Structure 1
C-alpha cells in the first residue's frame, strides 16, 4: 500500500472539511425547496413560563406534539394568547402536529383535515390552571398566517390561512370559539385576501381574491358573519381583469365619485413576465363594481405597465398626498420608440379616476433603483427625454430633438451615491468630485446621497424651486416606491 505522509494527510483532511462545509451550506440553502416543514428547519424558540404551562397542559391531553409556527403576519408564534370568547380571561391557541411516532395512532377523522396539523384551544380552570378544552384538525399542512376579526358580528373570529404541501392552493379557515367549543364556520379557497374596514357602519369584512376560468379572470368575494354566527357573502361577487397570472398588491384606498371621496380597492396584478395591470373596484353602497362599469370614457386609457432594467416595478399609491389613490401606467420616453423593449426608457404616468373621467395626476421618471421620482413639468412632456449612465449611477434629462443622442442641452442631471456600496472615504471623494463637477447636494440619509445639477435653457430649464418640488426621494429604510417631496441637506 502506498504510504501517506502526515503533511499530505493534513491536506486531505482540510479539503474534506472544506467540502463538507460546502455541502452543509448547500443543504441549508436548498432545504426549503426540498419539501421540509419550516418547523423541521428552524430551532424552536425558548418558551416563556406561561407558554411552558400551556405546553404541559396540551401534552397532558394530546400526548407528544411538535409545535408549528405561522410563516407570515403579526402572529408568528405557535402560541397565541388572546381573549376570543368575550369572557374576562384569555384563551390560548396552539398550533401543532402530533409527534410523528404517535401520528399514525390517531388519524384525522374530520373530512376537512388535510394532514396531522391541529389547533388546540386551552382555557384556565377555577384554580387558574391551563387545560385543553377543544381541538380542531387544520384545513392545510402549513400555517401561512393568523388573524382575528369580528367580521361584522359581536364576537371575534379566528382566521387561519393555510397552504397545502405540494400544491399552490391556499385555504382560509374561519373559526368561532365560545363556551369551550371551537366551530369551523367555513373554509374559503383564495389567492390573496385582505380585510375591509370603514366601508359602512357594519364593521369589518373579509375580502378574498381568486382567479377563475380559462381566461384567468379575477374575482372578489366579500364575507361577513350574521348575528347568529353564520358565515355568508356580504356583497355580490365582482369579476375583474383578464389574464391574471398572479396578484401583486391589494390596496384599500379612496377614490372620487361625483366629486365625493368613496372607498375603493386597487388590485395590482401580473399578466405576463414583466407586465402588470390594475383593476379598480368601487363601493357603490350595496355592491362593488369595476371601473369599466362606472367610468364611461375609460376605453382609451390603459393601466398596463411593463418593467425592464431601466423601469422598476411600481404599484398603485397616493403619490401626491391628497388622499386619493393614483394608478400607474408606462409610456415610452421620446426617442426610444423604435428600440426593443429591454432597451427602452419609460415614463411612469399616474392616473386617478374621478367618476366619469380619468385624470392624469403626474408624468414622472422613476429611478431604476427606486431612489427617487422626478415629476415632469407640463412643458417637459413630449419635449424631454432621458439617458442613464450606469457607471456613475446618474440620469440626465435632455431636450429631445428628433433623434436619441446626447447634446449640449443637458437640462438636469441627477446622481445617486449608495453608501452601502462605498466606504466612508469613497463617499468623501464622491462628494468632493460631485461638487467639482457642478453638482449640488440635494438629499442625504444613512443609505444614500442624491446630487443634482442643471443649466439655464430658455423655456425648459428648471428653477431651484421647481427642482425642489419635482424631485421626490424615497425615505431611508423603505424598500417600496413610496416617495416624498423635498431635500434634506
Structure 2
C-alpha cells in the first residue's frame, strides 16, 4: 500500500512548487489542472466577451508567474473602476483567427461589461502576465509573455490602457522575465534575459537588461553578460540576496546536463552578475545535478543556492544508487558563497532536513524501497553495515495518516493534503537521537 504514496506526494508537492515565488519553466497548467470554475464576475465578463466576438472561444491560462487566471481584473487605466483583460483563442481554428487573442473589457454606466477592443497575441500560449508601472509611474502597463510551439525565445508584448484606448506600445523577446525593486527606488523594475545564437559559430550568448518606457518608446539598458555555457534556463527565483539587495536567481542547464545558478542584482548603478565576473571561483560551488533549484528554504526572504556532494557512505556509489548531501548557500560580497544549512533534501516529497552539528559525518540515510520513508542511520564505516536506526521521516497523504499515528509516528509539519511524520527510537541513550523539538526546528518544507 505505502509504495503508492511516493508518487502522490511528488504530485502534491509539484503543484505546490508551481504556485510558489520560484518558477520552473517546464510547468504546464493544462497538464496538471482542469480549468477552474468561473466566479460570478468572470462569468459576466465571459458572457459579454462571447457576445462581442461572436464565436466559441477557449480560455488560455498563463503557465507561469503570479497571475494564473485567463481573466485579469484590475484598475488598468488609473480611472475610477476596474477593467478586465481576457486571454483566449477561437475554438474553430483553421483560419485567419488562429492564435491567442487578448480583449479589454470595461463597464458601462449601468455597470455591465462590454468589449472595448481585441488584439492578436504573439504566440500559441500565454507564459505570464505582469501588471506594473513603467515610464510615468502613475500609469500601469500590462506585460504579456507568449510562448510558441517552435520553442526558442518567448515574445513579450507591452499593452497600455489609457484615455479609452487599448494598444500595443512595445515588443521584445526574452528567456527570463521578472519584475522586482532591483535598484530599491520604491518601484518594481522589469528585468529580462535574452539569448542569441551566433549562426556562424553556433555559440549561444545571453544578456540581462532593464526595461522601461520613455516618451512612449521601450528603452533597454546595455545590461550585463550571462555565463556562456548555459543551454537553457529552467528556473528563476526572486528574493533577497542579503538583507539589502533584491536579486533574481537563475538556474540554467549546462552543456553537460548539470545545473548552475547565476545571480542578477543591482549595485554601483548597474546590474551585476558575480558568477559571470568570477566563474572559476563561483561556478564550481553552485553546480549540481538537475532538480536542485535555488529557493528560500527557511522563509526568511533570502534565497539559498544548493550544492551537493555524496552523502556519507555513498562516495563510491554508482549514479543510479547515489544519495546526496545538500548544502544551502547564501551569496555574500567579494564573490563568496557561505554555507547556511547542510542535510538531506527530498525533492520528490518537498522537504529538507538540516543535520545538526553533532551528526556531521556520523549519520547517513537510506531510502526504503517499499515505503515513502527515509531512514537515518548511525554510520558505522560501511553503508551496508550501518543498521543502528536514528530516525525515520514519512511523507503521507492525509487520508492515510492515521495508521502512522497508530504506529507511533508524530506529526511534525503539513502542506496541503500532505502530512510529514517522524518516528524516533525509544533508546534515548544514543546521543545521536534527536528530541522532537530538534526535529521540528531542523525540518523545512521547500516550496
SS in 1 for 2:169: strand
Alignment of 1:308-387 (within 5 A): 313-356=291-334, 357-367=336-346, 369-370=348-349, 372-387=351-366
Measured at CA, do residues 82 and 415 of structure 1 come closer, stay the same or move farther in structure 2, by a change above 3 Å? closer
SS in 1 for 2:230: coil
Alignment of 1:190-339 (within 5 A): 190-197=174-181, 199-201=183-185, 203-213=187-197, 214-226=202-214, 228-233=215-220, 235-256=221-242, 261-271=244-254, 275-292=258-275, 298-299=281-282, 301-306=284-289, 313-339=291-317
1:403 lines up with 2:393 in the alignment: no
Measured at CA, do residues 44 and 202 of structure 1 come closer, stay the same or move farther in structure 2, by a change above 3 Å? closer
1:180 alignment partner in structure 2:
164
Alignment of 1:436-475 (within 5 A): 441-443=410-412, 445=414, 447-454=418-425, 455=427, 461-464=432-435, 467-468=438-439, 471-474=442-445
CA distance in 2, matches of 1:229, 1:150: 13
CA distance in 1, matches of 2:161, 2:347: 49
Point out the structure with the larger strand share: 2
Measured at CA, do residues 130 and 272 of structure 1 come closer, stay the same or move farther in structure 2, by a change above 3 Å? same
CA distance in 2, matches of 1:173, 1:470: 45
Give the conservation status (yes or no) of the 8 Å contact 2:123–2:155: yes
Give the conservation status (yes or no) of the 8 Å contact 1:409–1:457: no
C-alpha displacement of 1:378: 2.7
Measured at CA, do residues 267 and 470 of structure 1 come closer, stay the same or move farther in structure 2, by a change above 3 Å? same
CA distance in 1, matches of 2:205, 2:142: 29
CA distance in 2, matches of 1:251, 1:284: 19
Give the conservation status (yes or no) of the 8 Å contact 2:182–2:265: no
With normalisation by structure 1, the TM-score equals 0.69
C-alpha displacement of 1:297: 9.0
Alignment of 1:403-422 (within 5 A): 403-407=382-386, 409-410=388-389, 412-416=390-394, 418-419=396-397, 422=400
C-alpha displacement of 1:254: 1.4
C-alpha displacement of 1:86: 2.5
Q: Which runs of 5+ in 2 are unaligned?
A: 1-29
Alignment of 1:12-27 (within 5 A): none
CA distance in 2, matches of 1:129, 1:420: 44
Most deviating of 375-384 and 125-134: 125-134
Measured at CA, do residues 447 and 136 of structure 1 come closer, stay the same or move farther in structure 2, by a change above 3 Å? closer
CA distance in 2, matches of 1:471, 1:237: 40
Larger radius of gyration: 1
CA offsets per residue over residues 277-319 of structure 1, 9 Å max, x none?
Answer: 2112232042111123677993585212225xxxxx3322233
1:52 alignment partner in structure 2:
47
C-alpha displacement of 1:472: 0.5
SS in 2 for 1:52: helix
Measured at CA, do residues 220 and 65 of structure 1 come closer, stay the same or move farther in structure 2, by a change above 3 Å? farther
CA distance in 2, matches of 1:444, 1:123: 45
* Higher RCO by CA contacts (8 Å cutoff, separation 6 or greater): 2
C-alpha displacement of 1:462: 3.9
Equivalent residue for 1:83, pick from 75, 78, 96: 75
Give the conservation status (yes or no) of the 8 Å contact 2:155–2:173: yes
Q: How many residue pairs end up in the alignment?
A: 402
CA distance in 2, matches of 1:417, 1:90: 43
SS in 2 for 1:339: coil
CA distance in 2, matches of 1:382, 1:127: 72
Instruction: Output the aligned Cα RMSD.
Output: 3.9
Measured at CA, do residues 240 and 49 of structure 1 come closer, stay the same or move farther in structure 2, by a change above 3 Å? closer
Alignment of 1:73-152 (within 5 A): 74=67, 76-77=69-70, 80-95=72-87, 117-121=100-104, 134-152=117-135
Measured at CA, do residues 198 and 218 of structure 1 come closer, stay the same or move farther in structure 2, by a change above 3 Å? closer
CA distance in 2, matches of 1:417, 1:350: 22
2:173 alignment partner in structure 1:
189
With normalisation by structure 2, the TM-score equals 0.75
